Chains A and B, each alone.
Chain A
Amino acid sequence: MKQTSHQFTQNVTRALAEPTLKIALDRTTTLLRTRRAKVIDAFEEYAEARATAQKIKDHTLDNLGHYLRQFEENAIASGAQVYWAETPQQARTVVTEICRAEGAKSATRVKSMLGEEIGIGEALADAGVERVETDLAEHIIQLAGDPPSHIVMPAMHKTQEQVAELFAKKHKDPSTEQDVTSLVSSARRELRPKFMNADISISGANFLIADTGSFVTVTNEGNAELTTTPPKTHIVTVGIEKMVPSLKHAAVFLRLLSRAAIGTEITQYTTFFNGPKREGDRDGPENLHIILVDNHRSDMLSDFLRPMLRCIRCGACMNHCPVYSAVGGHAYGAVYPGPMGSVLTPAMTGIEGSKDLPNACTLNGRCKEVCPVNIPLPDMLRSLRARQFEKGMPSGMTKWGLRVWAALATRPALYRLATAASNVALRGMARGRGKITTVPLAAGWTGSRDLPQPEPGTFMQQYKKGRR
């Protein structure tokens, strides 16, 4: 996808003016938060599970070279071919070459964020291969021509009504009813023949198991297995940080992943893959290619961003982020949206083109609180801001504003006078209506929401009167 993080402010303005987006985001993030809270409350051992998961990831990262070598050896022994790619370009080249060598015409794909990250669509297009997205949400956005807006629910920005309209236009045999069940049936009919007739299947992996050479996918739809079984060749693209030491270590994460992501105890389908089709097997791919992708992960290892490599891509941070819930995933203009994206995008694509992202955060701390592997997202976003300041990146206006604020904040009498004056001014602007719709120089705030009318008197004035 074309990155537009550099125009975050314009993206946000557009997103806030889009009424159906707000409806879609509210409906979905509210449900996801409620479901997660319920299933985490019922998991009495959650705190210990979370601490254990963090320790396992930290241990694996500390010994990453060892585990990568071990994984490679076991995967090759199982019959897979293993490739290493430092950049998205290198990964795409491997994919394109495999497709060309196979003379492939069509590829079915199970969504993976790594695939988005390296631009897998481009690699398939270069090889002249038709790409068929099989995850329902990816199918929706492929038909709509949209990029994903959430890492677990890529079509979160679409309402049911919009999907109904889209399917009616694009499906060969659309359902006549527009309820969600009928829409899902329509997609099932559309995709069945594609599963069976593709030449190549493409997937990611949620986990790599070092001591068996296995990789793991989790889905609720069953599309991973339906995608990767019929085609002759299966290509896996996966980030090197997905490693865990053994099968039993993976079990710890499987308990956390779907709880954090969608509020269920386990996903419907969890599959451990080991190599290509074996002698006597009636189905399965003849060729299995695993591409291990770096894309700046090795840089993050020796950086303050190291804890970000614990991330298991559950999306809980974005579901609980007030900024994400207001503007949606597209505004971030990058593959990874929300709090985790605001850390990953600068790390993977440079801080210059994504300078607004670390600042699009209220530091409320919810993202860290709900993170199943305890990633200190607010701290890292703050550190990224500090790094920007050191590089002299904040604008002249920001620096001027900070200087004015510093001058006031270090002079208490002046500060109180200024806040008292603005209190009177804002109350005047509200004209007793309880809200303020426009404030001079603050159209950026009031353009998409009202400011509440302040109480009479500043905090200090009220405090002195003994009112709380």
Chain B
Amino acid sequence: MSRDALLAKIDHANAGRGDMDVKAAADALIAEPDRFRVTFNDQPLYDRFVEKATSETVTATVETLDALADVPAAVAAYMAARDLGNRIALQPRESLTALDWSAFETAATAQMNEVLALTFADAAIAETGSLVFRTGPDAPVLLNFLPLHHLAVVRRSAILPHMEDVFDHFGTSAADQPRSLNIITGTSGTADIEAKNVRGAHGPRFMHIYCLSG
């Protein structure tokens, strides 16, 4: 059966059911999102984000920094505390590469057994403690997935309340979409053996977030 025959069969089965203005009907169903999503009116976005990101199920850690320029020193401290050497996979994004990395050995792509990568998140979601990454020439996918330690920088002002706000912020049309929009909530986990939660299944086992107050 060809495409056309299948669509004709579906249209026939739906005869008399469809909406005249499909988009208006679809939009009406989600016109009042606060009725069907978690609300946290009194809690500041930053507090909510940190609470969720560091919760038992998300398992990230959060550190506040005053400025982007403070990131290399913070990364050096993180690595020294865990004896991780000085090689980092660094997202080739100008805001990061422009910093002083002279004390490190940096690479723009992650190797198969990369120990640590640092990437810049485009936004964060307070509702769930998630980070949002939009891919592009300066933001490859694998840097967020291959390393054992994923370090991410996010601006406090980029914390949005809900996933819907991320869509509104970057645009909801087909043309607005990056090749890949990765919403990452903590570390890679699995519960596939007797439903016991374990971290570091395939992706990062540790996630550390630098939240820039500026």
Known: A63-B19, A68-B10, A69-B7. A52 touches B182 (CB 8 A): no
Cross-chain contact B22 with A45 (CB below 8 angstroms): no
Nearest 9 Cβ contacts at the A-B interface: A222-B203, A280-B137, A137-B192, A301-B13, A302-B13, A221-B201, A86-B1, A49-B36, A245-B26
Closest to B52 in A: A265
B14 within 8 A of A: yes
B213 within 8 A of A: no
Closest to B7 in A: A65
Interface hit among B68-76, B98-106, B152-160, B172-180 = B172-180
By a CB distance below 8 angstroms, the chain B residues around A281 are: 135-137, 140, 179
What would be 19 A-B contacts, judged by CB atoms less than 8 Å apart?
Answer: A63-B25, A64-B10, A69-B7, A74-B174, A160-B196, A211-B174, A212-B172, A222-B204, A226-B142, A245-B22, A248-B172, A251-B37, A252-B30, A265-B57, A268-B184, A268-B187, A270-B183, A283-B140, A298-B6
Interface hit among B42-50, B79-87, B108-116 = B108-116
A113 within 8 A of B: no
Rounded to whole Å, the gap between the CB of A35 and the closest CB of chain B is 8
Rounded to whole Å, the gap between the CB of B61 and the closest CB of chain A is 15
Rounded to whole Å, the gap between the CB of B191 and the closest CB of chain A is 6
Cross-chain contact B201 with A222 (CB below 8 angstroms): yes
- Name the contact of A269 in the complex, choosing from B183, B193, B198 (C-beta under 8 A): B183
Rounded to whole Å, the gap between the CB of A230 and the closest CB of chain B is 7
Rounded to whole Å, the gap between the CB of A250 and the closest CB of chain B is 9
The count of chain A contact residues (Cβ–Cβ below 8 Å) is 102
Cross-chain contact B6 with A282 (CB below 8 angstroms): no
Which residues 238-277 of A sit at the B interface, judged by CB distance below 8 A?
A: 240, 245-249, 251-252, 254-255, 262, 264-277
A84 within 8 A of B: yes
Q: Given the complex of chains A and B, what is the CA–CA distance between A283 and B37 in angstroms? A: 35
Highest count of chain B CB atoms <10 Å: which of A32, A134, A247: A247
Interface residues of B (CB under 8 A from A): 1-3, 6-7, 9-14, 17-19, 22-23, 25-26, 29-30, 33-39, 52, 57, 92, 108-109, 112-113, 127-128, 130, 135-137, 140-142, 144-146, 162-164, 167, 172-174, 177-196, 198, 200-204
By a CB distance below 8 angstroms, the chain B residues around A48 are: 35-36
Known: A52-B36, A64-B14, A226-B203. A77 touches B174 (CB 8 A): yes
By a CB distance below 8 angstroms, the chain B residues around A277 are: 179
Rounded to whole Å, the gap between the CB of B145 and the closest CB of chain A is 5
Which residues 265-319 of A sit at the B interface, judged by CB distance below 8 A?
A: 265-284, 294, 298, 301-302
A225 within 8 A of B: yes
Interface residues of A (CB under 8 A from B): 24, 27-28, 31-32, 43-45, 48-49, 51-52, 55-56, 59-69, 74, 77-78, 84, 86, 134-137, 140, 153-155, 158-160, 163, 180-181, 183-185, 187-188, 191-193, 195-196, 211-214, 220-223, 225-226, 229-230, 240, 245-249, 251-252, 254-255, 262, 264-284, 294, 298, 301-302
By a CB distance below 8 angstroms, the chain B residues around A278 are: 136-137, 179
Q: Given the complex of chains A and B, what is the CA–CA distance between A193 and B186 in angstroms? A: 24
Rounded to whole Å, the gap between the CB of A140 and the closest CB of chain B is 7
By a CB distance below 8 angstroms, the chain B residues around A284 are: 135, 140-141, 179-180
Closest to A182 in B: B198
Cross-chain contact A221 with B188 (CB below 8 angstroms): yes
Highest count of chain A CB atoms <10 Å: which of B173, B179, B198: B179
By a CB distance below 8 angstroms, the chain B residues around A67 are: 22
Highest count of chain B CB atoms <10 Å: which of A163, A281, A302: A281
By a CB distance below 8 angstroms, the chain A residues around B33 are: 248
By a CB distance below 8 angstroms, the chain A residues around B191 are: 153, 220, 262
- Name the contact of B18 in the complex, choosing from A55, A63, A163, A271 (C-beta under 8 A): A63
